[in-house]
Amino acid sequence: MSTERARLPAMKDRVMENDWVQFLISPGIGIAWVLGLLFLPMTIILVISFAIPGDFGNVIYEFTTANYERFVNAGVYQSIILESLMYGVVVTLIALPAGYTVGYFLGRSKTDWKWVLLGLVVLQYWVPFIIRTYAWIIVLSNNGVLNTLLMDVGVIAQPLDVMYSNVSMILGLTVSLLPFMILPVYVSVSTIEEDQIHAAKTLGATDFRAFREITLPQSLPGIVSGILFVFIISAGAFLAPTLLGGPTTRMIAPIIEGVFINDFNWPFAAALSMIYFAIIAFLLYLFTRRVDLEEALETGAT
Amino acid sequence: MATEQDHVTKGETDVDAERGYFGITFASRTKWNLIRLVTVVVYVLMLLPLLVIVVNSFNPSRLGNFPPESLSLRWYTELFADELMLRALWNSLQVGVAAAFGAGLIGTLTAMGFVRKNFRMQDALVIVLLSPLLVPPIIVGVAATIFFSQIGIGRSLMWLIVMHTLLGLPYAFLIIRSQLYLFDETLEEAAQTLGADRVTTFREVTLPLISPSIITAMVIVFVISFGEFTATQFWVKRTTTTVPVVIFSMLRTSISPKIDALATVMLVVTIAIPLAVLGIRRYAMPN
């Protein structure tokens, strides 16, 4: 971690003199920012999750476990959280092979278009979720682009009823999240030395064996990072289930929003948030027992 | 690279590694073609819907039938006559730029602190710093809203700036830190041996060397801030609304190509500004 090096002793004295730069250049401000604006608010909603809801978002500070009892007794919230995690798994399972294939292609291809193709993924990564989600409404709706074209061509007589269903939701979410899989896989694959694969094949390895023994292990950091981001973002997705989902689509983020905004029940919204956060934190804990969380985040975010 | 060149015959359109190294076997060629097919499908799925939005924004028909029979700027005219839209766009730009500067500054100081200083619990503190990436945005949104309301701070642009700085900070920190790892500290020592004080050293040596990563970080933070919706929806009021929130509420009320026009403007901003900044960076700082 540290980059300690032997400095000239005289220099060290002067550098270590108390200096406003010394004060500013420290992890303090960043840590304080996160503690003050994330950890403190999270602590407050933990407290409020044990309080009684008043009218119009007021909170009556009296200790109660009623919010958690409601979660336990009304099984619907448990199934919604379970379903959210399931959607997260499904989206991750689709995005992994698709994103890996594209990342692998970009990492190994020698085509002149590679930089353009890579640029397009980065641009896609920049496009706001709301736009990527909205795009699927115009494409998949009953009078949308896909159905209009298919009916004009005569492939189908009735519009395909795919919009506002789990299918459209999963499709929109998966495509939106593909850059999170493609980019880290590309980074890992492109650093693999091709001589290793060449050597393996010269020694008689089949394509598949060479892939399994050389490419796959070395692209694992990219895969891990991709899975982490895709799963966390998709399980907690708000826009895709709200805009693309159907009557049977239930996910936790829209439910928390509904309790918070429509019901004005802040303590229960706080309790749901804490329960969902605890589950995510537990999954992350299981995750960190196998892999380095910091490394996975760094691979994904840079 | 040299070996590859040897194997690839000129005039072939596709120059991929598999064939270069291993000869043109039917099996590996089929596999590679399959990989290319999947890649093409993924690109079509990623890009075509966005293209439809852009094309449709020039469609004069309210129903937005596709492909448009004629092209017009009708929806752009309506868009730029709509005060709420313009205000949202202006708010989003202000918040994005301010958050970029906020996260850029804090990210730089924090990354330098982590790389240059030794202190206890460094690994745990890094995870603290990266935690805004791990907490689902819906929870960040709810938690901050309850927190600010309990301490009696009303919704304002400053609220958005402060929170978007938080959401961008992990990205800024990671991008700047990765550059600092590559930094040759003997350059700073050289400057100080030649008599520069700490501040001069920072300004004349350290900052110019790490500034490319700071600019990249700021661009990324701007993009994140400009597009953030899930947490931001709780933090705005009518006068501080942002473009994603406006698009969302339009989707709930009336779908018209005006949304496509606004989305296209957003696409242009979110792609053109970063490309311009990164382009200028490349021009001004060749390294």
- Predicted local distance difference test score (pLDDT) of residue B10: 36
- Predicted local distance difference test score (pLDDT) of residue A68: 95
DSSP B139: H
- Predicted local distance difference test score (pLDDT) of residue B1: 37
Which candidate from A145, A197, A201 shows the least CB-CB separation from B52?
Answer: A145
What confidence tier does B254 reach under pLDDT thresholds 50, 70, 90? confident
Contacts A23 to B, Cβ<8 Å: none
Q: Does A243 touch chain B (CB under 8 A)?
A: yes
| Cα angle for residues B181, B183, B188 (degrees, 5° grid) | 135
The C-alpha atoms of residue B73 and residue A201 are separated, in whole angstroms, by 58
Classify residue A59 as left (phi > 0), alpha (psi -120 to 50) or beta.
beta
Residue of chain A minimizing CA distance to B256: A138
Interface test with B, best of A22, A33, A87, A173 (most B CBs within 10 A): A33
pLDDT digits (tens, 9 = 90+) for B72-122: 888 899 888 889 999 999 999 999 999 999 999 999 999 988 887 777 788
The C-alpha atoms of residue A278 and residue A287 are separated, in whole angstroms, by 14
What confidence tier does B133 reach under pLDDT thresholds 50, 70, 90? very high
The C-alpha atoms of residue B130 and residue A71 are separated, in whole angstroms, by 30
Interface test with A, best of B41, B46, B266, B277 (most A CBs within 10 A): B46
What confidence tier does B256 reach under pLDDT thresholds 50, 70, 90? confident
Interface test with B, best of A20, A39, A94, A102 (most B CBs within 10 A): A102
Q: What is the pTM of this model?
A: 0.88
The C-alpha atoms of residue B105 and residue B285 are separated, in whole angstroms, by 19
- Side-chain-side CA neighbours of B259 within 13 Å: the count stands at 27
- Predicted local distance difference test score (pLDDT) of residue A278: 96
Question: A117 to each of B16, B26, B274, how far by Cα in Å?
Answer: 15, 26, 17
Which candidate from B45, B109, B142 shows the least CB-CB separation from A269?
Answer: B142
Q: Does A199 touch chain B (CB under 8 A)?
A: no
Torsion angle of alpha carbons A215, A115, B55, B249, nearest 10°? 60
Contact A187, A222 (CB under 8 A): yes
The C-alpha atoms of residue A166 and residue A177 are separated, in whole angstroms, by 16
Q: Does A110 touch chain B (CB under 8 A)?
A: yes
Residue corresponding to tokens 């689902």: B136
Partners of A59 in the β-ladder: A53
Please give the average pLDDT of every successive group of 10 residues along chain A, which has 302 residues.
46 50 74 96 95 80 91 93 96 96 90 87 91 91 83 82 89 95 92 82 80 86 92 96 91 95 92 96 89 81 67
Cβ distance B199 to A105 less than 8 Å, yes or no, reads: no
Q: What is the least distance, in Å, from the CA of A95 to any CA of chain B?
A: 10
Residue B182, phi then psi, degrees to nearest 5: -85, 0
Q: What is the least distance, in Å, from the CA of A277 to any CA of chain B?
A: 7
Q: What ranges in chain A are assigned the alpha helix state H?
A: 9-16, 20-24, 28-34, 40-48, 66-73, 75-108, 114-126, 129-140, 145-153, 166-190, 194-202, 207-210, 216-235, 239-243, 252-257, 266-290, 293-301
Which amino acid type is present at position B143? Answer: A
Contact B144, A41 (CB under 8 A): yes
Q: Which two tokens stand for residue A75?
A: 């099984």
pLDDT digits (tens, 9 = 90+) for B166-209: 999 999 999 999 888 887 778 888 888 888 777 788 788 888 88
Q: Does A59 touch chain B (CB under 8 A)?
A: yes
Is 60 exceeded by the pLDDT of residue B245? yes
Sign of CA dihedral B51, B54, B59, B62: positive
